[in-house]
Amino acid sequence: MKKIVIAYDGTSEGVIVFDYIKQNFLSHFPTLQIDVIRVISDNEVLEDAMNFTTKMEDRKAHHQSVVQSFVEHKLEGVPVSVKVLYGDPTKKILSYLEKNQPFDFLVVGMNTKGGLYEFFNGSVTIQLLKHSKYPILIVK
């Protein structure tokens, strides 16, 4: 195993993905390359814009810094690449995977909160399972 991609949703539930990778993969694959992507949805961008008076470029730099610091803390001592993307999470994740071959599999968390959106459209994880041609490890 050489490379995995972690799609982190920014939630507290998503943290379990990093703990799972640390416990189950890093000791067996010490040279494992890890890419972490965090997609900030259009709704999150709108909420963010209402709470901040800074320019979008400054908010993007802030998002990158926050996610980078968090990932480095969770995967301390592990070389990791972090990328923050903006837009529809499913589309952005699938596009990232297409452009960043090869990798062994995608790792995602499964949020079980539900809600009307998920009832009608499915969670990002469900959408990825439906539309991805790549292997996916779901951590719950």
What are 42's two structure tokens? 């259009």
Instruction: Evaluate whether 90 touches 41 at the Cβ level (below 8 Å).
Output: no
What are 2's two structure tokens? 């050489």
Instruction: Evaluate whether 107 touches 72 at the Cβ level (below 8 Å).
Output: no
Instruction: Lay out the sheet containing 33-40: strands in order across.
Output: 80-86, 33-40, 3-7, 105-109, 136-139
CA pseudo-torsion sign 97, 81, 103, 110: negative
* pLDDT tens across the length of the chain (140 residues): 999 999 998 887 788 999 999 999 999 999 999 999 999 887 776 666 566 656 777 778 888 999 999 999 999 989 899 999 999 999 999 999 999 999 999 999 876 665 554 554 568 888 999 999 999 999 98
Per-residue burial over 53-70, b = 16 or more CB atoms within 10 Å of its CB, e = otherwise: eeeeeebbeebeeebbeb
